Every structure is written in structure tokens, then in C-alpha cells.
């Protein structure tokens, strides 16, 4: 493990390299513990740089076996090699030269899963962000682009498959029992997009004919025997390729596109040019093992990685500060894809739920950073929900400000202008300024200022003058390193409704620019007057969540109910239901803490049940309406001195009140929302299952007994229904015989399937209450529990820390101490994973004082430990600051 050096990298220090890399030629002689890597790199000195400057290459835990300059051995005085760098002096002043670097690496010992490693008997690489330097010495930065030739030599029986980026050049036998393959990738790429895979895998094959008529071979490689489970991923891939042609005019650019599924992977997937590597969780699916959520994730991630081919690969980042250039944009693209494939409002609701539960806490806590940060200590810690999800929201706002056509023109210009280059956010923004003539200087603050803006709204109606006045104020809270903020350009979609639900259109508007339904809030405070409004209007503000803000606007229950009934924008209907419900949940948490009986407004319950029962609405929307804000969401809204037990008890009490009031509605839905016929993962069927399982959740509250959920468990013929019933049983009746029987049955049925057993671990990790810690410690003793597998660690330890506020946050602090010990242990093997799970502690300051004290002690236990990785050191320091 590389331990912390305390070095910070600053955007302001960016300089281009002294040397230009022309070509890369790699030869791998694969061996589980001693893989030999020969890198032939052709460089020339950049014209405008120092003629004497040495060439400094990056390394990480490397040892140099040989170094040649133009085929001749380099004398010892001309270079210095350490594990972390290779410096070569006295290089030609202008002529190109060839360096041949030989290193030996040990894939089997690579538990970090960065660089070349082994998983399930296959060789696999992960190079983003700085993994390539664990393979060979290299200018390992995204602005160094070159075409690559890759030769792979390996034992033929164990590795019939030898894959790398680009197009296949050829292969042949190679001495006794070995063979080789050669690949060439003509598209200049940075090292983080390099990939190599070798081993013995099964394949699913198909073809795609591009818009210009070229045939592309599509291959998805999975473990032998699992080929049928890759069918949905293949279908999603073809739909993604088609959609990117139709929506963005982007055509695929190699003869072959490959996806490899592996079981040990730190993230979701990786967009290596022509050879995506995936966490198998996001490839493998069939009704028996995958939930509807799994299908939706597979579709989204297959699309995301494919879309990177243009946004990330053809046009890449100049430096890692620009990560949102590829990630925010590509998330926006995959969100749009899913919205087009499924239901747009339901997709938007899911996005906003995710944004609020993951990104808002990050933006409001010690790990807050701008979408385009200006410094980092460990880049791996910046693959954050701020860079990805807020980055996507910022892209969405550009589309909102410009409108669909100008946004498309801006994207076209971006692709034309920067193809083959490594660029910056400023370049991206310039494309939209150029096509629209709009000055986006103030808007760019979204990239530079961290923190979720708070917009406060109030309104008044003048019946005599028929004017409606909306007063808006914005405030961006202070965040680490940014004490004061400038006002932002905030696009707020809005609509006005009459009492009968019809839309009101003003004759004119003063005080703000209004284009279509988009109001431009640009000042700290702005008063906007809508003229020609015949009666008191009901305002629907921030429709479709046009800006990622916190909105403070008190509206009466009647007004919210009107929006929930009449808005054309179904996202806004959902938001109105949430706004109706939230005050009840907050009051319930306070009441539960004081031992006062919990109550719930009838207006909210009525509106919720009306939506649940409204057959003109799609089932998936109705299911979203019934899913109350999570305990973490309630904690965030309460804003401090939080007691997780009271929040849980309050929320449960509200659930029970709704369940009681809606018993008939839920019973009817549970019966009527069956999905007859064979299982289909399509969005409409998934919506029916979601609504039926939401009904079952409420029914199990009012039953106050496990029988109905157990019957549902026994009757389930797909993983969505099975895991939903199991979750209800385990979470609501953990001590009941039915829950124990179902958990045992699930275990026995799926013991052989790692992805399903992850669900079994995760469901148990999320069981509310103090007793879950002991359960988890017991589960960790099982032979099934594999500490080296990131999915398993995330399923058990990650779910506990991120998604079980009462178990993890039990009052004696044992949950936090458990996490501290786990983090120190994981850090020895896999720093990236340790750091990511540790971010679950980011909101510790919102806890009541006793728990906050326990949390601080646990964090300090980590901080005081001797050799921490840079990854964990960076997170723990920032969380404690």
C-alpha cells in the first residue's frame, strides 16, 4: 500500500508536458505472479520547452528491469528509477527517440484492483485514474494521447482469450503451450483508457450496423455458463448505440466493441476504448436473479460506458480537475437515454431522490467540493456524486437555458471542435456560448462554487391590479475553503394554476427574464411581477427540478394538493406530495423523541391515497408517490441534533397511520397489480410490481403480522417480488419464524450465486435496530463472506454504514467503532474501497451530542492509526476538520 505523502495537487499548477508521446507499443508476457511488461514509447521534445529538461515518468510500486534508448542500454548516470518515478536525462533535443522500458509486476498480489490484477482466474486491468503507472513507467496523465499497439503473450490453455483496445490485428502460436495476440487502437487515447483482459470466458455475440452502414461486432464476455444472463445487457448496448446516433449524431468508430464482466471491481464499470470492463453486477440478469432495479441499472450503466466513447474517449479531460467534463456530461446523456426508454417523469423522480439523498449531504457537509475542484490530495476520492450527479444537473441546466435545439447545436460544435483533444470545462462552455450568443460567465459558477443554493420564495396576489408578485432570494452556503459566494444564475421552471387546475398565462412579466416556462434568477434578491392574472394563482416552482437547489416556499396544503392533482409536469405532482408529507415526518420525529403520540394531516393522507388510487397515473409514478422520504432524508431536513431512533419511530408511526387509512386501497392494489404472463423487465411491468410491493409494505404495517409477506415470498416467481417480500419480513419482523425461514430458504436457494447472496447480506445489514451489529459480525464469520470482494464488502459493511441509521448509529457507538476497525482492515488491501465506505460518516455532525461524540472518537481512532493510505487519510482528515 502506498501511504500518504501529504502532497496536494493544484489546478493552478497545470503545465503541458515537456515531451510529446507519438506512439505506444506494449508487450505483455502474462504470468500470475511475474508478468513482464515491455513498453516502447516514442517521444519528441515539445518545441517551446527547455532543451535540457529531463523526461520524468510516473510509477507506482514498480521495479525497473531494463531501459533502452533507441535500442541501446541507457548508462546508469543518465537515469534514476524509484518505485514512484523514472527520470531520464540528456535526451535528444529535437529528434524523436524511442525508450524501451521493461518492468515486472505481480497481478496476483494486486489487491487494490488498480493496474493489472487477477479476478476469478482472469487477468484484467483498471487504469483510471492513475492505475497505468502500476503497469509501466509512463506520463500517466489524461492530456498525453497516443495510438497504442498491444501484444499479449500467455499460456494458451489457461488464457484462450487475449483482449485489448482497438481492432484485432492477428494472433498465432508462440512457443510451447503459449500463444499471442496483437491489437491496434488507431484513436489516440490517454493511458487511463488502456485495457487488457486475458483468460477463459464465455461470449455472447451480436452485430450492429451503424448509421453509415458499417458493421460492428459486439461481444460480451462472461463466466462460462452465464451467457444467457448477458442477453439483456446486449439488448441495452444495441439500444444505446442507436440512441446515440439518433439523439446526438454519434457513430461508433471501431470494428469491434467488447464488454467483459468481472466479479472483483472497485466501481460500476469502466469505459476503456473498445473494451469496457464491468462489475458483473451490472451485466448479468435474468428474472430469477435480477430485480427491476438491477435491470434499470444495467441499462443505464451499459449506456453510460458506451456514451463515454464520445464524451470521455474521443474528447477527454485535460487534467483530472476536469473530471466532470466527461462524467457530468455522460451521466446527463445516460439519464436522457433512460428517460427516453422508460417514463420520463418517473426517471426524473428517481434522479432527484438520488441527488437529494446522496449529493445534497455531500454538498452540505465536510466533503463538499465544487463540481470542478481546484485541488485534491487523492484523485480517487473525487469520483463523487458531486462530480457525477451535480455535474449532470449542471449540464441539464445548460440545456434548459438554451432550449433543445441550441443545446444540440452546442454539442455538435463541441464534438467538431475538440475531437481528438484533451480539454477543459471552459472549452465545453465556450461551445454553448458560441452557438447561443448567451454569456454563461455567471452560470459557470455552478462549476466553481460548492454548496446547494437555498432559494427562498414568497408571493402575493393583488386582485385589483390582477398582478401576482413573486419575491425570490438566493443564498449559497459556505463550504470548506469557500466562505463567501456570489449569486448564481438559477433557471427555475414554473407554472401558475387557477383554482380549477387550469393553467394561467400572464400577459407580461417584469423583474426577470422569462423564456417559455423558465425564469432566470440571477440576483441575490429579485421581485418578479406577473401581469394579467385574473384570480389568485397557485404557483408550481422549480418544475422538473430545473435547478438543483433547496427551495423554501411555504404553500398551503390546499395549494400543494391542487398541484398534486393538476400539474401537467408529473415530477411536480410528486414533489407536491413530498412537500405535503415532509412536515408530518419531521413533526413525527420530534414527537417520537418526546414520547408524544404521532399524528398525520388528513390532507396529506388523502392526497397520497388519491394518487395511489388514480388509474390515470402510471403505476411506477404511484409507487414513487407511496415511497416516503427515507430516514436519512428526514435527518437532513431536521438539520441537526438528530436521534436516529426517534426518526425511525416517527416514520414508522406515519407509515402505520397511512396503512390504516388506506387498507382497502392497498389491498385492492395488491390484487390488481399482478403481472400476468411470463416475466418481462419492461418499465410498465416493473411499475406494476413496484406499486404492488409498495402496497404490500403498507399492508404488512397494518397486518402487524408476517403471514401476508411470507405468502408473497412463497408465491414470488421473480427476484423483484422475492427480495421485496424478504425485505419486509426481515426488516419488519426480524424475530418471526417466517422471516428466519425465508432468510434460510433464500440462502439455500442462491448460495452458489454471488450477486444474489450480496442481496441476502445487504437486506440483513439494513435491518433496523441495535441488534443488527451482532448479526453482521456473525455473518462475517461465514465462509460465504469474502473480504477481498468489493461487492460483498459494500453489500454488508457498506449497506450497514450507509443505509441503516438505527443499527449503525446505535446509541452506544458500537456501530461507529466497528466501522473504524473495518476501515483500517480494508485499507491494508484496498484503499479505494476503504475510503469510499468511510464517506458514510460524512454527516456525523448532524447527530445528537452523545452519538456525535462516539462518531468523533471512531474517526479519531482511524486518524491516529499509523500507516494510512492517501485515500483514507484524505477522507478522515476532511471529515474531522
Q: Which residue is nearest to ligand 0A1 (CB)?
A: 267
Q: State the minimum distance, in angstroms, from the CB of residue 411 to Zn ion.
A: 17
Q: State the minimum distance, in angstroms, from the CB of residue 377 to ligand 0A1.
A: 17
Question: Binds 493, which of Zn ion, ligand 0A1, none (CB < 5 to 8 A, cut-off by type)?
Answer: none
Reported as type and span, the H/E element at residue 432 is helix 425-436
Question: Binds 38, which of Zn ion, ligand 0A1, none (CB < 5 to 8 A, cut-off by type)?
Answer: none
Question: Binds 267, which of ligand 0A1, Zn ion, none (CB < 5 to 8 A, cut-off by type)?
Answer: ligand 0A1
Concatenate the DSSP letters of all residues of 839-866 into one string: GGGTTGGGB-HHHHHHHHHHHHHHHHSS
How many alpha carbons lie under 13 Å from residue 186 in its C-beta half-sphere? Answer: 7
Annotate 738-757 with three-state secondary structure.
Answer: HHHHHHHHHHHHHCCCHHHH
Which of 330/839 has CB closer to Zn ion? 330
CA-nearest of 175, 174, 151 to 163 is: 151
Cell readout for 529 is 411581477
Which of 395/436 has CB closer to ligand 0A1? 395
Q: State the minimum distance, in angstroms, from the CB of residue 694 to Zn ion.
A: 31
Q: What is the length of the chain? A: 881
Question: Binds 685, which of ligand 0A1, Zn ion, none (CB < 5 to 8 A, cut-off by type)?
Answer: none
Assign residue 253 a region (left: φ > 0; alpha: ψ between -120 and 50; beta: otherwise).
alpha
Q: State the minimum distance, in angstroms, from the CB of residue 331 to Zn ion.
A: 7
User: How far apart, in whole angstroms, are the C-alpha atoms of residue 240 and residue 613?
Assistant: 35
Which of 327/362 has CB closer to Zn ion? 327
Question: Binds 269, which of Zn ion, ligand 0A1, none (CB < 5 to 8 A, cut-off by type)?
Answer: ligand 0A1
List the beta bridge partners of residue 25: 40, 149
Tell me if residue 29 is catalytic: no
Indicate the SS3 state at residue 127.
coil
Question: Binds 318, which of Zn ion, ligand 0A1, none (CB < 5 to 8 A, cut-off by type)?
Answer: none
Q: State the minimum distance, in angstroms, from the CB of residue 304 to ligand 0A1.
A: 6
* Residue 129: cis peptide before it, omega within 30 degrees of 0: yes
Interacting residue ranges for ligand 0A1, rule: CB under 6 A: 126, 128, 266-271, 304-305, 327, 383
Catalytic residue among 223, 305, 358, 378: 305
Q: Enumerate the H helices of 533-617 as residue ranges.
A: 557-566, 570-594, 602-613
Residue 49 C-alpha from the chain's centroid: 40
Which of 43/428 has CB closer to ligand 0A1? 428
Question: Binds 719, which of Zn ion, ligand 0A1, none (CB < 5 to 8 A, cut-off by type)?
Answer: none
CA-nearest of 281, 268, 262, 230 to 118 is: 262
Question: Binds 201, which of ligand 0A1, Zn ion, none (CB < 5 to 8 A, cut-off by type)?
Answer: none
Contact 562, 511 (CB under 8 A): no
For residue 507, what are the CA distances in angstroms to 143, 470, 518?
52, 15, 16
Residue 291 CB burial class (10 angstroms; 0-12, 13-18, ≥19): buried
Q: State the minimum distance, in angstroms, from the CB of residue 325 to ligand 0A1.
A: 12
Assign residue 16 a region (left: φ > 0; alpha: ψ between -120 and 50; beta: otherwise).
beta
DSSP 794: I
Which of 81/193 has CB closer to Zn ion? 193
Backbone angles phi, psi at 455, to 5 degrees: -110, 125
Q: How many residues bind Zn ion (CB under 5 A)?
A: 2
Q: State the minimum distance, in angstroms, from the CB of residue 240 to ligand 0A1.
A: 14
Cell readout for 141 is 496523465
With both helix axes pointing from N to C terminus, report the angle between 344-354 and 323-341 in degrees, rounded to the nearest 10: 140
Which of 100/330 has CB closer to Zn ion? 330
Which of 330/832 has CB closer to Zn ion? 330
Q: State the minimum distance, in angstroms, from the CB of residue 308 to Zn ion.
A: 6
CA-nearest of 348, 396, 388 to 369 is: 388
DSSP 444: T
Which of 69/124 has CB closer to ligand 0A1? 124
Between residue 315 and residue 344, which ones bind Zn ion under the rule CB under 5 A?
A: 327, 330
- The footprint of Zn ion (CB under 5 A) covers 327, 330
Could you list the active site residues?
305
Amino acid at each position: 500500500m502506498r501511504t500518504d505523502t501529504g502532497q496536494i495537487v493544484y489546478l493552478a499548477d497545470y503545465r503541458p508536458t515537456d515531451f510529446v508521446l507519438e506512439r505506444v507499443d506494449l508487450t505483455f508476457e502474462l504470468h500470475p505472479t511475474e508478468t513482464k511488461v515491455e513498453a516502447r514509447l516514442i517521444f519528441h521534445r515539445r518545441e517551446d520547452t527547455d532543451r535540457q529538461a529531463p523526461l520524468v515518468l510516473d510509477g507506482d510500486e514498480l521495479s525497473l528491469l531494463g531501459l533502452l534508448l533507441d535500442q541501446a542500454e541507457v548508462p546508469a548516470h543518465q537515469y534514476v528509477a524509484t518505485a514512484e518515478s523514472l527520470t531520464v536525462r540528456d535526451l535528444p533535443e529535437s529528434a524523436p527517440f524511442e525508450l524501451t522500458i521493461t518492468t515486472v509486476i505481480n497481478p496476483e498480489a494486486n489487491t487494490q484492483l488498480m493496474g493489472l490484477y487477477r479476478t476469478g482466474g482472469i487477468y484484467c486491468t483498471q487504469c483510471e485514474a492513475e492505475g497505468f503507472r502500476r503497469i509501466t513507467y509512463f506520463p500517466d496523465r489524461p492530456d498525453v494521447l497516443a495510438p497504442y499497439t498491444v501484444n499479449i503473450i500467455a499460456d494458451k490453455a489457461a488464457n484462450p482469450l487475449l483482449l485489448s483496445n482497438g481492432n484485432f490485428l492477428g494472433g498465432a502460436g508462440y512457443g510451447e503451450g503459449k500463444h499471442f495476440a496483437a491489437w491496434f487502437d488507431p484513436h489516440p487515447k490517454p493511458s487511463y483508457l488502456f485495457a487488457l483482459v486475458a483468460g477463459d470466458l464465455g461470449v455472447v455475440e451480436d452485430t450492429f450496423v451503424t448509421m453509415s452502414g458499417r458493421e460492428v461486432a459486439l461481444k460480451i464476455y462472461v463466466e462460462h455458463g452465464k451467457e444467457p444472463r448477458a442477453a439483456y445487457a446486449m439488448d441495452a448496448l444495441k439500444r444505446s448505440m442507436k440512441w446515440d446516433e439518433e439523439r446526438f449524431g454519434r457513430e461508433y468508430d471501431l470494428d469491434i466493441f467488447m464488454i467483459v464482466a468481472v466479479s472483483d471491481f472497485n466501481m460500476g464499470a469502466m469505459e476503456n476504448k473498445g473494451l469496457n470492463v464491468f462489475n458483473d453486477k451490472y451485466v448479468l440478469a435474468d428474472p430469477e436473479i435480477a430485480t427491476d432495479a438491477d435491470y434499470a441499472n444495467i441499462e443505464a450503466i451499459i449506456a453510460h460506458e458506451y456514451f463515454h466513447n464520445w464524451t470521455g474517449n474521443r474528447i477527454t479531460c485535460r487534467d483530472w480537475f476536469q473530471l466532470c467534463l466527461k462524467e457530468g456530461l455522460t451521466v446527463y446523456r445516460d439519464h436522457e437515454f433512460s428517460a427516453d426508454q422508460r417514463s420520463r417523469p418517473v426517471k426524473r423522480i428517481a434522479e432527484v431522490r438520488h441527488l437529494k439523498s446522496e449529493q445534497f449531504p455531500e454538498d452540505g457537509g465536510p466533503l463538499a467540493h465544487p463540481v470542478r475542484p481546484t485541488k485534491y490530495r487523492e484523485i480517487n476520492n473525487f469520483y463523487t456524486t458531486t462530480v457525477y450527479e451535480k455535474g449532470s444537473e449542471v449540464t441539464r441546466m445548460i440545456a434548459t437555458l438554451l432550449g433543445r435545439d441550441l443545446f444540440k447545436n452546442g454539442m455538435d460544435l463541441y464534438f467538431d471542435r475538440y475531437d481528438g483533444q484533451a480539454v477543459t470545462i471552459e472549452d465545453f462552455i465556450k461551445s454553448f456560448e458560441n452557438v447561443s450568443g448567451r454569456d454563461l460567465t455567471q452560470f459557470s459558477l455552478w462549476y466553481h462554487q460548492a454548496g446547494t443554493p437555498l432559494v427562498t420564495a414568497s408571493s402575493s396576489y393583488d386582485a385589483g391590479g390582477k398582478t401576482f408578485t413573486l419575491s425570490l432570494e438566493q443564498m449559497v452556503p459556505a463550504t470548506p475553503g469557500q466562505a463567501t459566494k456570489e449569486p448564481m444564475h438559477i433557471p427555475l421552471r414554473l407554472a401558475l394554476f387557477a383554482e380549477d387546475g387550469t393553467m394561467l398565462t400572464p400577459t407580461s412579466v417584469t423583474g426577470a427574464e422569462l423564456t417559455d416556462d423558465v425564469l432566470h434568477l440571477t440576483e441575490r434578491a429579485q421581485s418578479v411581477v406577473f401581469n394579467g392574472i385574473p384570480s389568485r394563482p397557485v404557483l408550481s416552482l422549480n418544475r422538473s427540478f430545473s435547478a438543483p437547489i433547496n427551495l423554501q416556499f411555504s404553500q398551503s396544503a390546499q395549494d400543494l394538493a391542487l398541484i398534486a392533482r393538476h400539474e401537467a409536469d408529473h415530477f411536480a405532482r410528486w414533489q407536491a406530495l413530498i412537500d405535503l408529507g415532509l412536515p408530518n415526518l419531521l413533526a413525527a420525529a420530534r414527537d417520537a423523541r418526546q414520547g408524544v403520540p404521532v399524528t398525520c394531516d388528513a390532507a396529506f393522507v388523502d392526497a397520497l391515497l388519491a394518487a395511489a388510487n388514480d388509474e390515470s397515473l402510471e403505476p411506477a409514478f404511484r409507487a414513487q408517490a407511496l415511497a416516503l422520504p427515507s430516514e436519512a432524508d428526514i435527518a437532513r431536513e431536521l438539520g441537526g441534533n438528530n436521534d436516529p431512533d426517534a426518526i425511525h419511530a416517527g416514520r414508522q408511526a406515519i407509515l402505520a397511520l397511512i396503512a390504516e387509512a388506506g387498507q382497502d386501497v392497498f389491498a385492492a392494489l395488491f390484487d390488481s397489480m399482478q403481472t400476468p404472463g411470463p416475466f418481462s423487465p419492461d418499465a410498465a411491468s416493473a411499475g406494476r410490481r413496484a406499486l404492488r410491493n409498495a402496497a404490500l409494505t403498507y399492508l404488512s404495517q397494518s397486518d402487524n403480522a408476517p403471514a401476508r409477506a411470507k405468502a408473497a415470498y412463497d408465491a414470488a416467481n421473480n427476484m423483484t417480488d422475492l427480495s421485496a417480500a424478504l425485505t419486509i419480513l426481515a426488516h419488519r419482523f426480524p424475530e418471526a419464524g417466517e422471516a428466519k425461514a425465508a432468510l434460510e430458504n433464500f440462502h439455500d436457494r442462491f448460495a452458489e450465486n454471488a450477486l444474489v447472496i450480496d442481496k441476502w447480506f445487504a437486506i440483513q445489514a439494513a435491518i433496523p435496530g441495535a441488534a443488527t451489529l451482532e448479526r453482521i459480525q456473525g455473518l462475517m464469520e461465514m465462509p460465504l463472506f469474502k473480504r477481498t470482494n468489493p461487492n460483498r464488502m459494500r453489500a454488508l459493511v457498506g449497506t450497514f454504514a450507509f443505509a441503516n441509521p438505527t443499527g449503525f448509529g446505535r446509541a452506544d457507538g458500537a456501530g461507529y467503532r466497528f466501522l473504524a476497525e473495518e476501515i483500517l482492515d480494508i485499507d491494508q488491501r484496498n484503499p479505494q474501497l476503504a475510503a469510499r465506505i468511510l464517506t458514510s460518516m460524512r454527516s456525523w455532525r448532524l447527530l445528537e451530542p452523545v452519538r456525535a461524540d462516539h462518531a468523533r472518537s471512531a474517526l479519531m481512532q482511524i486518524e491516529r492509526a499509523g500507516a494510512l493510505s492517501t485515500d483514507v487519510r484524505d477522507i478522515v482528515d476532511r471529515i474531522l476538520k
